[in-house]
Amino acid sequence: MITSHPLMLLALLTLIAPFWGALLSGIDRKLTARAQGRIGPPVIQPLYDTLKLLRKTPIVLNRIQVVYAYLHLAFMVLAFLLLVLGQDGLMFLFVFAFSTLSLVLGGMCVRSPYSRIGSQREILLMVAYEPILILLMIGIYKANGSFLLGSPFVAAKPLLMALPLLFLAFLVVMAIKLQKSPFDIATSHHAHQELVKGLTLEYAGPYLALIEIAHFYEIAILFYFVMLFWASNLAIGFVLACASFFLMVLIDNAFARLTTMWVFRFMWTGALLLALTNILWLYFR
């Protein structure tokens, strides 16, 4: 059996992950279309889009921009590997954050004001959601006694039982990372006219495709992370992740985009309060 070797399995997972992300993205677009009474694109439309972008003529403003596009993808794949291998959660967070940071730096190294505004908003979003993720790691440590992302698999009780409020806070972070309304202020899947696509404005052709592929990895990472909350039984974890994903589509369609500072305030009051309450409960129970 070819998948019996751990390295083979890892390579297979790394190959499948972007397709899984693209499929989820396509289902998202289809669901959104159906919710609006439209027929919508085929489910594999994100694949068509990415393959098309790969065949376009590259337009590059400067070399650094290209380096950051590659770094964004490379760090995202590395974050995926760390997650799948069950490595240190803090290291995973660091690599995950640096992937986003590469995108921000790529958006900052051009002269377009829209690209820069998008980058600044992305930084603000990072400031808004990073504390939640760090508290989540602390929560995992308190629940399982280890920062290792493999620890939920061997724990006696599902992570969700110990971290119910942190799970809710994580769902908000997920909405931000998936660029869902009301949090899609840096760049968005819809309403391309606003900020003229923001962060990825100056990327064209194959380099935009790299960012798209990195986003597919990001979707796969978030999906897998939700599964960690019920890792003792991955079937339940899968259902949980699917439900969370459906919730994201629902939120996306139900809300309008809000302002940057609103997102910041919401994260540092509502979401942070949820996370902190959960941590305090873990200490004093």
Task: Give yes or no for a cis peptide into 182 (omega within 30° of 0).
Answer: yes
Name the segment binding another protein (CB under 8 A); options: 7-15, 64-72, 101-109, 204-212: 204-212
Considering beta carbons, is residue 172 or 208 the nearer one to another protein? 208
> Residue from 208, 211, 240, 279 that binds another protein (CB under 8 A)?
208
Task: Check residue 88 and report its DSSP letter.
Answer: B
Task: Decide if residue 23 touches another protein (CB under 8 A).
Answer: no
State in angstroms the smallest separation of the CB of 194 from another protein.
Answer: 8
Size of the site for another protein (CB under 8 A): 31
193: exposed, middle or buried (C-beta count within 10 Å: 0-12, 13-18, 19+)? Answer: exposed
Name the segment binding another protein (CB under 8 A); options: 87-95, 142-150, 190-198, 235-243: 190-198
> Residue from 91, 142, 205, 257 that binds another protein (CB under 8 A)?
205
Name the segment binding another protein (CB under 8 A); options: 7-15, 42-50, 226-234, 254-262: 42-50
Pattern 45-74, binding to another protein, x per CB under 8 A? Answer: x-xxx-xx--xxxxx---------------
CA-nearest of 174, 267, 181 to 220 is 174
Written as one letter, the residue type at 242 is: C
Task: Decide if residue 162 touches another protein (CB under 8 A).
Answer: no
Which single residue is written with the structure tokens 């390579």? 11
Q: How many residues does the chain have?
A: 285
First to last CA, the chain: 47
Task: Decide if residue 212 touches another protein (CB under 8 A).
Answer: no
Task: Decide if residue 193 touches another protein (CB under 8 A).
Answer: yes
Which residues, 6 or more positions from 241, have their beta carbon under 8 angstroms from its beta carbon?
223, 224, 226, 227
Considering beta carbons, is residue 4 or 57 the nearer one to another protein? 57
Sign of CA dihedral 259, 106, 222, 86: negative
DSSP-assigned beta bridge partners for residue 88: 148
State in angstroms the smallest separation of the CB of 33 from another protein.
Answer: 6
Which residues, 6 or more positions from 233, have their beta carbon under 8 angstroms from its beta carbon?
158
Considering beta carbons, is residue 5 or 38 the nearer one to another protein? 38
> Residue from 28, 122, 184, 202 that binds another protein (CB under 8 A)?
202
